[in-house]
Structure 1
Amino acid sequence: MKKFTKLAVAAVSGAWLAMMTTASFAESTMEKIVRTGEMTIAVQTQGPPVSFIDKDGKRTGLAVELAQMMADDMGVTLIVQDYDWKGLIPSLLSGKADFIAADMTPTAKRSMQVVFTEPVFYSETIAFAMKDSGYTSWKDLNVAGISVGATQASSWADIARDKISNAELKEFAGGTAQTVQALTSGRINAGVSDKATIAGFMSSIEGLVVLDGDISREPLGFAVRPDSTHLLFALDNYMGLIRADGRLDEKLEYWWNTTNWEADHK
């Protein structure tokens, strides 16, 4: 009996040692970036001013430029992969991307799948409609018979579902551009997005207006896989560095707080 116990203990100890040895040799995301000299990000296909293709066919935007700046300072090549909003987290978890560079809210539900950086910037969630709609405030939309659109699987959809619960929510894949298109074609009465994103559409779509009042203010950050601890610390550290030297504020002023980027990219 004692001999059997010793053998069992030895077997368990051996299995544990093997598991720990295997784990210790598993390549981390940062080690993979260093080895390959490439850092891959997942971005939303068309989500100006965070990520989009500009008039010259160039991929750009706030998140793209921040990631590019970090890659340049690291001395690695940035690889950008496009996804619909609902495809961002699956692309990360499947290993296709090293991190998500998007205006993503760190909700409790998403945090069950991925790990978020400290907030990189903040977003005011607003409602928008056509000027002749008769609506003045986002609260006017909280009525049965009104249809409100938002990006599929986004925090905007969650906020609309919570704050404008009496209206019918319609979700659209592909980002805010599809929601705006649904509005201008008369398929919905209003939409929900963030103030900076809608500012980019207002200059090109006559009659598009932001309704009074912020529905909410959300922190936004980048996301990594739960096992990418080194990369998470590196991202937080880098955002702290460029916040201190002024480069982050410069990017936010150009891309997020104003529409200055339109003159160069639309």
Structure 2
Amino acid sequence: MLNLKRLMTSAFACVMATSAPMMASADESTMEKIINSGEISIAVQTQGPPISFIDKNGERTGLAVEMARTFADDMGVELVIKDYDWKGLIPALTSGKVDFIAADMTPTAKRHMQMLFTEPAFYSEVVVFAKKGLDLDSWKDLNSGDYAIGAAQASSYADQAREKLPEAELKAYAGATPQVVQSVLGDRVQAGVSDRAALATFLKQNDELEIIGTLNKEPLGFAVRPDSIHLLLALNNFLRLIEHDGRHQELLDYWWNSTDWEADHK
């Protein structure tokens, strides 16, 4: 029996010794692919300015796209952008179709079960908006079966609406914020939930819309597969570098904290 135990222990040690290099290789497989191909691919939802959209020249751009482009330029590789609707972003990553997700995605515990998130790339303020004249004292007054709330499908905005307005009817839209805004304007829902920055242009274009209140402020990050540790570390290092040299703040001031980008891209 003792010899059998020793044999099993020895065999287990051999398996661990041979699998360790394979595990290390798996951790770097995404980065190795990027280096060998000279390309890095991202999944975006090109429907939601100022995060990602197609501008007047037919070019994909936006805060998340330009952050990813800056990352690719710093690495010396080509950026490949692939479009998906919101609910298609995570499957695109987990199936290996892209290297990382560049979107305004909240690093929830549930999402962390499928992928790894970078340090916050920027922060969002989740707000409730509606047409003027709704005559509410607070966004909390919407927590009633008499109201319907719109939010992007499979988004943290929808999660926030469910959590803080559970009595209201929730309508989820695959078209993200633009479709939610149109539903509010078309009276298909009484209010919508989205990010303040994403709403800035719509509020500027539609005097009849207003923000009722803030539900939450939350960090937003980029996401990689669990086996892409090298890429995750590289992204985090990049975020620290551009914060230090000022490029991060320049991107935020142009895309996120103002509507300056509209003059160049709309």
| Structure 2 counterpart of 1:77 | 78
Q: Quote the offset at 1:204 in angstroms.
A: 2.6
Query: Percent of counterpart pairs with the same letter?
Result: 58
Deviations 1:59-117 (A, max 9, x none): 00000001101111110000001111111111110011111101111111111111111
Q: 1:6 to 1:241 in 2, by over 3 A?
A: closer
Q: Quote the offset at 1:2 in angstroms.
A: 7.9
SS in 2 for 1:241: helix
Q: With the length of structure 1 as denominator, give the TM-score of the two structures.
A: 0.92
| Structure 1 counterpart of 2:176 | 175
Q: Quote the offset at 1:11 in angstroms.
A: 5.8
Q: Quote the offset at 1:174 in angstroms.
A: 2.3
**What's the Cα RMSD here?**
1.9
Q: 1:149 & 1:94 partners in 2: Cα distance? A: 29
Deviations 1:216-239 (A, max 9, x none): 001111111111111111111111
Matches within 5 A, 1:166-245: 166-211=167-212, 213-245=213-245
Q: 1:190 & 1:106 partners in 2: Cα distance? A: 25
Q: Look up the equivalent residue of 1:32 and give its one-letter code.
A: K
Which moves more between the two structures, 158-167 or 174-183? 174-183
Question: Contact 2:117/2:221 (CA < 8 Å) preserved in 1?
Answer: yes
Residue ranges of structure 2 left out of the alignment (5+ in a row)? none
Residue ranges of structure 1 left out of the alignment (5+ in a row)? none
Q: 1:190 & 1:136 partners in 2: Cα distance? A: 14
Q: Look up the equivalent residue of 2:142 and give its one-letter code.
A: L
Question: Contact 2:46/2:60 (CA < 8 Å) preserved in 1?
Answer: no
Which moves more between the two structures, 25-34 or 106-115? 25-34
Deviations 1:155-190 (A, max 9, x none): 000000011112111111121111112112221111
Q: With the length of structure 2 as denominator, give the TM-score of the two structures.
A: 0.92
Q: 1:142 & 1:8 partners in 2: Cα distance? A: 62
| Structure 2 counterpart of 1:157 | 158
SS in 2 for 1:216: strand
Q: Quote the offset at 1:243 in angstroms.
A: 0.5
Question: Contact 1:129/1:135 (CA < 8 Å) preserved in 2?
Answer: no
| Structure 2 counterpart of 1:127 | 128
Q: 1:70 & 1:175 partners in 2: Cα distance? A: 26
The reply to whether residue 263 of structure 1 matches residue 245 of structure 2 is no
SS in 2 for 1:203: helix
